[in-house]
Structure 1
Amino acid sequence: MEINIVQPLYQQAYREFKKLILTGQISPGEKIVMSKLAEQYNISRTPLREALRQLQTEGLIVQDHTSMKVVELNKTDFLELFHCRLLLEKEVIRMIVEEITEAKLEKVYEVLMESNDAIEVGDSFKILELNTQFHELLIMSCSNYQLAHLLNHVRSLLLIYRANINQKPQYSKEIYHEHLEIYNAIKSRDVERAVEVIEEHLKNDQIRGQSVFE
């Protein structure tokens, strides 16, 4: 892990461990041993504990009364979460079309262009980050805080599934083009088209995600 003197140590550790999980270097279901991580990455317990707490908040790490481990993939959970996401995101997108500013739309477009560049060089972790950022920028434009908060929670739990999807280059291109369609519909202020393309995107994502369990 490269140490950045500007960024707090726990944030550096959080980003590094998140990358290890989402790239499969720490496997689903694998136990997290703090002493081992502290020694391996030469980091003290306090920033390490905070980094793991953040990952736990995102649902990437779970803890019971005996141990802490990386969340395991479960098809039933996946399908239930996607059903929730579809219902929530369709409602959020309706509001976004009318509420998002042109300045925010410019940022969304910049993220799309960065995504395309990351796809060209095959940086799967960067692609995942930018895909996440694409949706977050849109959701932050929703004036209903509680609705946006619920959607973000569901999306964070699905993060490990989306990470597995991003390991396949052909999916990255598909997702990029679907995101571009969503952007164009919102840019045109076409509510019905935006709902149509977000629903198509999420249904395709569910199909892509189910391949993890096959």
Structure 2
Amino acid sequence: MKEPRPAQKDAYALILEAIDSGIYNPGDRLVESELAERFGVSRTPVREALQRLETQGLLTRDGRSLIVSSLDHNALAELYVVRAELEGLAAALAARHATREEVRVLREFVEEDRKLMGDPRALARANRRFHRQIHLASHNRFLMQQLEMVHRSMALLATTSFAVEGRDAEGLNEHARIVEAIAAGDAAAAEAALKEHISKAFETRLKLDASAAAAE
């Protein structure tokens, strides 16, 4: 009996995760041969992954090179408008369809994440986990597909809003209010709470960008 082959590494997922985790930042050049060596895959799937990421707008061509795209002010504003609407809808649907178990998991995430205060990168990862759990609790696969596209673009943000002093406690309190609205089955309140959360995050990011520009 033949031994099962090890699962093939997904070059697209590996590169996307590297961008999302800050290994590659906006403006960084991605070289096919270097990526293949880093991730232990052949150059063909890397080439296909780079083409896919370019098509999705996550990479930009600079001459013959591909670099990680940057979001200017207008693109950032557009992204947050779409994110607020889609995330708000997910919260409203979660308030209608979330199981008791899903609500308990959301509550547990909020409490667990409070232990991460002071660690912006860890909180950013926990934040993605929390939002994805709401997406799952919406029980709408088509909405989840759209939210995945939005969150891929969020990977282009080099810094996290949790890096701003006081944003961690504020953000987690907002998470708690979202969860309680979902638990109460109040779709309107859940949608409003999540939209307000996204608005606060956008406002914080604008301040971050302004501070970074002033320091240049």
> Which bracket does the TM-score occupy, shorter chain normalised?
0.7 to 0.9
The residue identity in structure 1 corresponding to 2:167 is: Y
SS of the equivalent of 2:29 reads coil
Matched, 1:150 2:150: no
Q: Which residue of the other structure, out of 110, 113, 117, is the alignment partner of 1:112? A: 110
RMSD value, Cα: 3.4
Residue aligned with 1:26, SS: coil
Flag structure 1 segments of 5+ consecutive residues without an equivalent.
Answer: 1-6
Deviations 1:149-182, CA, capped at 9 Å, x for gaps? 2233223212333843233353222211111111
1:62/1:13 CA distance change after superposition, 3 Å? closer
Partners of 1:194 and 1:42 in 2: CA distance: 41
Alignment-derived partner of residue 99 in structure 2: 101
The structure with the larger Rg is 2
Conserved 8 A contact 2:60-2:67: yes
Give the structure-1-normalised TM-score.
0.77
CA distance in 2: counterparts of 1:133 and 1:88, whole angstroms: 16
* Per-residue CA distance 1:41-98 (angstroms, 9 max, x = gap): 4734359828955993896841438322212131111101111122222222222101
1:125 aligned onto 2:124: no
Matched with 1:176 is: 172
Query: Does 2:59 match 1:62?
Result: yes
What letter matches 2:24 in structure 1?
Answer: I
Structure 2 partner of 1:3: none
Deviation for aligned residue 1:207: 0.3
Aligned to 2:132, the other structure's residue is in SS state helix
How far off is 1:125 after superposition?
2.7
Match for 2:91: what amino acid? I
Q: Which runs of 5+ in 2 are unaligned?
A: 1-5, 211-216
The size of the alignment, in residue pairs, is 204
**Mapped partners of 1:54, 1:128: distance in 2:** 27
C-alpha distance in 2, partners of 1:142/1:32?
A: 36
**Structure 1 residues 48 and 173, CA, compared in 2 at 3 Å: closer, same or farther?**
farther
Match of 1:27 among 17, 25, 28: 25
Give, as a single letter, the amino acid of the residue that structure 1 aligns with 2:46: R
- 8 Å Cα contact 1:90-1:195 kept in structure 2: yes
Which deviations, in whole Å up to 9, do the C-alpha atoms of 1:12-31 show, x marking residues without a partner? 99568735x45655331111
